[in-house]
């Protein structure tokens, strides 16, 4: 999936991979790639400003942790972030249901063609 | 690692080029560049662990990461908002403090029968009003770029508007303090005037520098 198509859903993707627990930037990137089976194409460098923005909006919190010689900034969902993720999921389900009804009406049992 | 050694490292070169391309609050920028440098180093190490030679691993990591030209615009957008908030915070903190300092001078001059001349009082009140309005706009900016931004998009022209609001507030602070200092009929209030002048100089320096950087960010 091209990076332009992914960009509109980046916030939801980042919130979703942080749902199980805190992760640092590179671990978030690998989690997105692992969950998508490598199907999502995105410039991984753009994830860092996106994480900064989500923190500014109060959806994430972060703290710096020392790992070996490096300091890593670990992000975790706030309560507002969990609520935001629930909204993203609802919006995504409504969107895919609506588009699916039009694109693939036969595959949807109980729907007249 | 020596400075020359760090510069020779392609990951460090990438970080230095990115840092040179970005404008914004020094701390936020340094943290963003440090985080991205470590992320790029992690990506390069992941390729190296799979047996890819170091130089090739870094090239692959940069390709996935995006070149500085590809990544810098999204970083700059966030730093511009950070600088806008920094300027707004500086105005919010400094303007009310100065107005509190000016109030005794405006209200009573140096004592009964020695009030400030009318025109000076009028000018000082209007300048204080400008600083107060700037502080109010700064509060709105902090709300609009904070949690409210989840629901409402941040207006495109906001950083430049905040930059000029900060500049205006800074000038109003200086003029109001000078007016009060010159028009005070005696040195009876000199401790307060001296304090207000000192505070104004510090506040003006902070607001003006932040507003200048905000203009640079808005135009980058």
Inside any domain, residue A15: yes
Q: Tell me which of A65-74, B14-23, B153-162, B181-190 is least confident.
A: B181-190
Q: What is the DSSP string of B44-61?
A: HHHHHHTT--HHHHHHHH
For residues A6-21, give the mean pLDDT: 90
| 8 Å CB contact of A58 and B146 | yes
Domain count, chain A: 1
Q: Dump pLDDT digits (tens) for B93-143.
A: 988 887 877 777 666 555 555 566 777 778 878 888 888 899 999 999 999
Per DSSP, the three-state class of B197 is helix
For residues B10-17, give the mean pLDDT: 94
Judging contacts by C-beta atoms under 8 Å, the chain B residues touching residue A50 are 74
Judging contacts by C-beta atoms under 8 Å, the chain B residues touching residue A45 are 36, 39-40, 65-66, 70-71
Inside any domain, residue A113: no
| 8 Å CB contact of A48 and B39 | yes
Which pLDDT score is estimated for B126?
Answer: 82
Instruction: With CA atoms as reference, report the closest residue to B215 among B160, B173, B155.
Output: B160
Q: For helices A25-35 and A47-56, give the axis angle rounded to 10 degrees.
A: 110
Inside any domain, residue A49: yes
Which pLDDT score is estimated for A71?
Answer: 82
Q: What is the DSSP string of A2-58?
A: -HHHHHTTHHHHHHHHTSSS-EEHHHHHHHHHHHTTT-----GGGHHHHHHHHHHTT
pLDDT-based confidence at residue A4 (cuts at 50, 70, 90): low
Q: Dump pLDDT digits (tens) for A27-84.
A: 999 999 899 888 887 788 999 999 999 999 999 999 998 877 778 899 999 999 999 9
| 8 Å CB contact of B40 and A80 | no
- CATH topology for the B83-219 domain: 1.20.120
Distance between first and last Cα of chain A: 29
Which pLDDT score is estimated for A108?
Answer: 59
Strand partners for A61: A76
Strand partners for A60: A77
For residues B52-74, give the mean pLDDT: 92
Which pLDDT score is estimated for B14?
Answer: 94
Pairs of CB atoms within 8 A across A/B: 74
Judging contacts by C-beta atoms under 8 Å, the chain B residues touching residue A49 are 32, 74-75, 77-78
Q: Tell me which of B16-20, B52-56, B135-139, B153-157 is least confident.
A: B153-157
Instruction: With CA atoms as reference, report the closest residue to A23 among B42, B176, B30, B168.
Output: B42
Virtual CA dihedral for B146, B152, B155, B156, nearest 10 degrees?
Answer: 90
Cα nearest neighbour of B72 on chain A:
A46
Residue A106 DSSP symbol = G
pTM score over 0.80: yes
What are the boundaries of each domain within chain B? 3-66, 83-219
Inside any domain, residue A110: no
Looking at residue A21, which CATH number applies to its domain? 1.10.10.10
Inside any domain, residue A36: yes
Which residues, including other chains, have CB under 8 Å from residue B103's CB and lie 6 or more apart? none
Q: Which two three-digit tokens encode residue A21? A: 């627990």
Domain range for A91: 3-104
pLDDT-based confidence at residue A111 (cuts at 50, 70, 90): low
Distance of CA B123 to the CA centre of its chain: 28
Share of chain B above pLDDT 70, in %: 88
Inside any domain, residue A111: no
Q: What is the ipTM of this complex?
A: 0.81
> In angstroms, rounded to a whole number, what is the distance separating the alpha carbons of residues B129 and A69?
52
CA B135 to chain A, closest CA, distance in angstroms equals 21
> In angstroms, rounded to a whole number, what is the distance separating the alpha carbons of residues A51 and A59?
9
CA B84 to chain A, closest CA, distance in angstroms equals 13
CA A94 to chain B, closest CA, distance in angstroms equals 19
């Amino acid at each position: 999936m091209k990076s332009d198509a992914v960009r509109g859903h980046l916030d939801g993707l980042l919130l979703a991979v942080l749902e199980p627990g805190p992760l640092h930037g590179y671990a978030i990137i690998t989690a997105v790639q692992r969950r998508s089976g490598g199907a999502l194409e995105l410039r991984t460098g753009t994830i860092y400003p996106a994480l900064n923005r989500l923190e500014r909006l109060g959806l994430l919190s972060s703290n710096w942790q020392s790992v070996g010689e490096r300091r890593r900034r670990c992000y975790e969902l706030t309560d507002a972030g969990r609520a935001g993720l629930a909204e993203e999921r609802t919006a995504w389900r409504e969107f895919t249901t609506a588009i699916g009804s039009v694109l693939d009406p036969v595959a949807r049992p109980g729907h007249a063609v | 690692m020596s400075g020359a050694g760090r510069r020779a490292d392609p990951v460090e070169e990438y970080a230095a080029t990115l840092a040179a391309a970005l404008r914004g609050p020094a701390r936020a920028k340094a943290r963003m560049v440090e985080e991205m440098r470590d992320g790029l180093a992690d990506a390069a190490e992941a390729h190296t662990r799979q047996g890819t030679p170091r130089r090739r691993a870094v090239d692959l990591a940069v390709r996935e990461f995006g070149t500085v030209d590809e990544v810098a615009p999204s970083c700059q957008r966030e730093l511009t908002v950070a600088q806008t908030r920094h300027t707004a915070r500086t105005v919010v903190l400094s303007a009310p403090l100065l107005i509190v300092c000016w109030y005794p001078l405006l209200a009573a001059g140096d004592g009964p029968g020695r009030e400030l001349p009318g025109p000076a009082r009028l000018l000082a009140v209007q300048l204080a009003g400008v600083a107060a309005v700037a502080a109010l706009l700064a509060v709105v900016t902090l709300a609009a770029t904070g949690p409210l931004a989840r629901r409402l998009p941040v207006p495109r022209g906001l950083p430049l508007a905040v930059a000029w609001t900060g500049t205006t507030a800074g000038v109003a602070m200086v003029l109001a303090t000078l007016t009060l200092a010159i028009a005070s009929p005696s040195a009876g209030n000199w401790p307060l005037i001296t304090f207000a002048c000192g505070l104004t100089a510090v506040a003006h320096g902070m607001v003006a520098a932040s507003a200048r950087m905000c203009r640079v960010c808005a135009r980058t």
